[in-house]
Amino acid sequence: MHARFGLDFAGKEEARREVHRRPSSVLEVDEAASVRFDTAGHAFVEGDNLEALRLLVPPYAGRVQAIYIDPPYNTGHDFVYRDRWAQGNAEHLRRSGQVDERGSPLVSNPSSAGRYHSAWLAMMLPRLALGRELLRDDGLLFVSIDDHEVHHLRMLLDEIFGEDCFVAQIVVVGNRGGRDYLRIATGHEYLLVYGATPDAPIRELPNPSASRPHEDAGGAYALRDLRNRNPKFHPGNRPNLFYPVFVAPALADAEGLCPVCVEPRPGYEARVEPRNRTGEGSVWRWGRPKLQAAIAADDVGASAVVARRKRDGSFGIYEKHRKTTTKPRALWDDSSVRSETGTIALRQRLGAAVFDHPKPVELVRRCLQIGTDRDAIVLDFFAGSGTTAEAVIEQNRIDGGTRRFVLVQLDEAIPESAPARAHGHRTIADVTRARVRACLGEQEGVRCFRLAPSDEPRWMPPPVTAPEAVLQALREHEDALRRRSLRTWDRAVRCGMPLHATLRRLDEHGSIALRDEGRGRDLVVSPRVPLSLRDIERWDLREDTEIVCHDHALDDATAVTLAARHRLPRW
């Protein structure tokens, strides 16, 4: 028997099955908590994120460009998600093979701590797998985590995304002084970055410290040495990059910049070869054809490469470097990502530190700079204090973007003694909503939703199989289906309409028309009973609009007429 390398833990198979389980909750609108609901572009869902992710698959699969999450770190006192496979010690011992079905020990030294890792991993697996389904091909996942589970999480993500989709394990220094009550005073956490595909792009970050003291018609620039300073490259292994460049000192401009050429010409009497300080042969960074294409004859201003005299009298060859961005580093150690800045920002928004250890806005905003276009959809299904919402809004204001966020947060109760209680926040979801509202601009809005238990009637076969009993049970089940309520937004989401869809209210009965601009798709959901052809004609719908309503809302003639112009998905 061949052993296979990988991550295994008690409850893993049950966790995998959860990925494909149908949602057992329904989506309810919370207009009272929303801000400018009808025109809002952002969304917040209160409830279990596993259920929410299941509901979000139809509208958002392959559409989310960035996911940022800050899940529970599993430090032993912060684990609140109790999924159906969460287990006590006895159940863990049985599933992990340490005891048999009667509870008799099968190993000599069972580990009581193993269940904590298993329960945490079983909680994370289906959520990460569903999140993976929502990402675009160029999408990125960012996960904040610390030493407690980072090693397990990387193995889990390697399994879900693939090892070739791993991008980086960024070290984020949140506390320069370190936690000196530990044996080694650690003051950092990690940010794991995975791409939906191996080629998911990483965008460069602005480089405010870049000095560009020169300027021409093309804008500001700095002079960057054209000689390759890497000693690995030399004329012996890069002969095509060793060649002379000729300089015309008499044509120098006011800054001492001189035109260059790659062939001898009258007036270009200074010959420059790529050599290091000791005179040994080096190479240029560009080949001769590329350099030739960058030169405008006798014109320093129009050329992308120029020469300038050094202090020793020789000439250096320089590229006009206009780049204002820099590649992201794997160590984030600047003051803007310190943990205390997250607390300060939250206090400024809500008047008090109503959440423990909120993430700095700059940390999440940097993820958005690295991982999103200006029109991206951003998801955070461990929303916590709502840092992601503020980061999205702030980044939009900086670059003029139209990013939309979807946040999900469990309605986890806040202890009575916590400062948040004194400010009217009973749950963490209350804190999230409050921060979102505090961050919104005058024209911005958020649609708030809650998850509620489903009222979908289940078919229960009668205990007896007599035909009359079965028929009666079917009639009762059909009556129950007729009586069930049609929640417009829940049905719209299940039909694939995103929470930010353009909304038009159609009548006083709650009928709504939604348009998904990204996919050019129109949907009407109407709880109206009965629903006549005249009612529908008043709505002035596009011909390809889908209409969802109660089965018994349409008579046969109306249904036939509508089916010729519209799709009528069964509900």
Q: Are 235 and 254 in contact (CB under 8 A)?
A: no
467 pLDDT band, cuts 50/70/90, is confident
Percent of the chain with pLDDT over 70: 88
Q: Which two tokens stand for residue 113?
A: 């701590």
d(CA 304, CA 37): 52
Q: Which two tokens stand for residue 39?
A: 């025109």
Comparison of pLDDT for 205 and 81, the residue scoring more: 205
d(CA 130, CA 160): 10
* Predicted pLDDT at 116: 77
Whose structure tokens read 């509900």?
571
The Cβ-side half-sphere exposure at 492, using a 13 Å CA radius, reads: 27
N- to C-terminal Cα distance for the chain? 50
98 pLDDT band, cuts 50/70/90, is very low
pLDDT at 159 over 90: yes
Comparison of pLDDT for 549 and 468, the residue scoring more: 549
Report DSSP letters for 291-340, one per residue.
HHHT--TT-TTT-SEEEEE-TTS-EEEEEEE---EEPPPSEE-SGGG-HH
Could you tell me which residues come within 8 angstroms of residue 563 by beta carbon, excluding any fewer than 6 positions away? none
* Predicted pLDDT at 93: 47
Instruction: Output the average pLDDT for the chain.
Output: 90
* Predicted pLDDT at 474: 65
pLDDT tens digits, residue range 321-335?
999 899 999 999 999
pLDDT tens digits, residue range 410-455?
999 999 989 899 899 999 999 999 999 999 999 999 999 999 998 7
Comparison of pLDDT for 208 and 466, the residue scoring more: 208
Q: Which two tokens stand for residue 64?
A: 């989310």
Q: Which two tokens stand for residue 365?
A: 């905003």
In residues, how long is the chain? 571
Query: CA dist 529 to 91, 363, 516, 524, 552, Å?
Result: 50, 50, 26, 14, 8
pLDDT at 60 over 70: yes
119 residue type, one letter:
A
d(CA 318, CA 50): 56
106 pLDDT band, cuts 50/70/90, is very low
Count of CB atoms within 10 A of residue 89's CB? 13
Burial class (CB in 10 A: 0-12, 13-18, 19+), 439: buried
d(CA 385, CA 431): 6
Q: 413-417 contacts: CB < 8 A, separation 24 or more?
A: none
Provide mean pLDDT across the span 493-502.
Answer: 97
d(CA 271, CA 548): 78
Provide mean pLDDT across the span 238-243.
Answer: 97
* Predicted pLDDT at 104: 43
d(CA 448, CA 439): 15
Q: Are 44 and 484 in contact (CB under 8 A)?
A: no
d(CA 357, CA 340): 8
Question: Which of 135-144, 240-249, 281-290, 460-469 is least confident?
Answer: 460-469
Comparison of pLDDT for 324 and 461, the residue scoring more: 324
109 pLDDT band, cuts 50/70/90, is very low
Strand partners, 318: 225, 306
DSSP type of residue 152: H
552 pLDDT band, cuts 50/70/90, is confident
SS3 (DSSP) at 375 = coil
Provide mean pLDDT across the span 209-217.
Answer: 87
Whose structure tokens read 């949140």?
174
pLDDT at 114 over 70: no
pLDDT at 86 over 70: no
* Predicted pLDDT at 478: 60
> Which run of H or of E encompasses 384?
none
Question: Which of 144-153, 170-179, 205-214, 306-315 is least confident?
Answer: 205-214
Phi and psi, residue 533, nearest 5°: -65, -35
Number of helices and strands in the chain (H, E): 15, 26
pLDDT tens digits, residue range 507-548?
999 999 999 999 999 999 999 999 999 999 999 999 999 999
* Predicted pLDDT at 113: 55
* Predicted pLDDT at 74: 81
Count of CB atoms within 10 A of residue 244's CB? 12
Measure the CA angle with vertex 124, ends 333 and 76; round to 5°: 70
111 pLDDT band, cuts 50/70/90, is very low
Per DSSP, helices labelled H in 372-504 are 387-399, 419-422, 428-439, 467-483, 488-494
448 residue type, one letter:
C
469 pLDDT band, cuts 50/70/90, is low
Comparison of pLDDT for 233 and 462, the residue scoring more: 233
Question: Which of 67-71, 217-221, 338-342, 468-472 is least confident?
Answer: 468-472
Question: Which of 30-34, 84-88, 363-367, 453-457 is least confident?
Answer: 84-88
pLDDT at 146 over 50: yes
Q: Are 114 and 32 in contact (CB under 8 A)?
A: no
**Residue 70's closest CA among 9, 149, 129?**
149
d(CA 30, CA 244): 72
Q: Are 190 and 172 in contact (CB under 8 A)?
A: yes
pLDDT at 561 over 70: yes
Q: Which two tokens stand for residue 145?
A: 């985590």
Percent of the chain with pLDDT over 90: 77
* Predicted pLDDT at 105: 43
Comparison of pLDDT for 263 and 461, the residue scoring more: 263
* Predicted pLDDT at 189: 96
pLDDT tens digits, residue range 265-286?
999 999 999 999 999 999 999 9
pLDDT tens digits, residue range 334-370?
999 999 999 999 999 998 888 988 999 999 999 999 9
pTM for the predicted model, two decimal places: 0.86
* Predicted pLDDT at 131: 98
